[in-house]
Structure 1
């Protein structure tokens, strides 16, 4: 569960370039390595693919170090992977080796130059990192980048007991409202699990009073919303 704490963080100041170089993600949080870097695709992304929720040209928005993109490319999908962090993209290209993936540094809240290109949009833990206003801009940008009838598959930290503190987690009603206002019709929203590296976030979780499940491999088991939507 999450309890009140004297430790406040300004999540808008998160420095993603810094953390990919071994610096501080967030002042005072003690996070100096990407806690989402588990070295393999997220189980929720694997589940999207298993359910047949990936098709055509795919946009991986906020791709980070590229493990989800690499997985989808290995399954034969045409993947474009974007991230605002140039350091993440550099490392993702190296990690991908010769995989046929289009990598680009791009602002996901605008996605200029990517209009009308994609049949599937994947968001594995980007939405919740944005401010309330930026979430609207982001969802609208995804809508512009998607073709008519495109699918959106999203994993977003859930504001539930045992989850990350707000505003780094999002209530269900907020997810639905943002997507509805930007032209996405939610077809399914349920609880799922997002893996992270427990050791990397141990100090942060202690300061925020957040207690989460940790598996035998030292990974956090964080609750997320698994969201399926269609471009209306």
Structure 2
């Protein structure tokens, strides 16, 4: 199986060899998102795009923010609604965002961008521009080329790609490497690669982990302001 062909709706239904444990679902907000919130980086109407099971959305709402969580997978949204009652969740196409024009002041993209093809990325950024107000802030996390070859990443994103695509209508204030916390231990990750992709996981040896033994993946962290 090519990871670019993975059906996220099937994943959220548990209808793949991975079962119901999503590598990106840590049952809590991403630590990097918590750090942004602690720094006051989320204001006004917040969009969590590609919200998945809603961990980040629920956390931001707990900070008193008005949050809308959107995802293309109906099963993800159904489960997110069960987890967080104080967030507006809905199914939406991130490359269109019809009905959300001029609505948001802050956008969180926690690992959606690298799931999109090159054409879709341009459509997505155009949709985000339409859905936000001038001066809105975008916080985006996506896999960088530092990710090991054996890691199941849909696409690895270059710095140049981000600067060209995001920089068209947004002023990039920060673009730097950081890490993204997964739900998997090194052995669970290797087993997932064996089962899901029928691939050799040898190249995953030596990836960094956090204090709880969860694999940390290299990502870009971008902050940009809509012009």
TM-score, normalised to structure 2, is 0.88
- Corresponding residue number in structure 1 for 2:64: 76
- Corresponding residue number in structure 2 for 1:175: 162
Q: CA deviation at 1:214?
A: 2.8
Distance verdict in 2 for CA 1:19–1:41, change over 3 Å: same
Q: CA deviation at 1:158?
A: 1.2
Whether the 8 Å contact between 2:181 and 2:214 is mirrored in structure 1 is yes
Matching residue within 108, 119, 131 for 2:94: 108
| Aligned: 1:16 with 2:11 | no
| Aligned: 1:150 with 2:139 | no
Whether the 8 Å contact between 1:58 and 1:80 is mirrored in structure 2 is yes
- Corresponding residue number in structure 2 for 1:3: none
Whether the 8 Å contact between 1:160 and 1:171 is mirrored in structure 2 is no
Whether the 8 Å contact between 1:159 and 1:166 is mirrored in structure 2 is no
Q: CA deviation at 1:111?
A: 0.3
Q: CA deviation at 1:187?
A: 0.6
Q: CA deviation at 1:10?
A: 4.9
Distance verdict in 2 for CA 1:196–1:17, change over 3 Å: same
| Aligned: 1:189 with 2:172 | no
Distance verdict in 2 for CA 1:216–1:151, change over 3 Å: closer
Deviation by residue 1:54-90 (Cα, 9 ceiling, x = unmatched):
0000000000000100000000000000000000000
Q: CA deviation at 1:215?
A: 3.4
- Corresponding residue number in structure 2 for 1:220: 215
TM-score, normalised to structure 1, is 0.86
Whether the 8 Å contact between 1:193 and 1:223 is mirrored in structure 2 is yes
- Cα distance between partner residues in 2 of 1:36 and 1:120: 22
Whether the 8 Å contact between 1:157 and 1:169 is mirrored in structure 2 is yes
- Corresponding residue number in structure 1 for 2:80: 92
- Cα distance between partner residues in 1 of 2:12 and 2:38: 30
Question: Secondary structure of the equivalent of 2:77?
Answer: helix
Distance verdict in 2 for CA 1:167–1:51, change over 3 Å: same
- Corresponding residue number in structure 1 for 2:54: 66
Question: Secondary structure of the equivalent of 2:140?
Answer: strand
Give ranges in structure 2 of 5+ residues lacking alignment: none
Give ranges in structure 1 of 5+ residues lacking alignment: 1-7, 25-29
Give the alignment's Cα RMSD to 1 decimal: 1.9
- Cα distance between partner residues in 2 of 1:167 and 1:79: 27
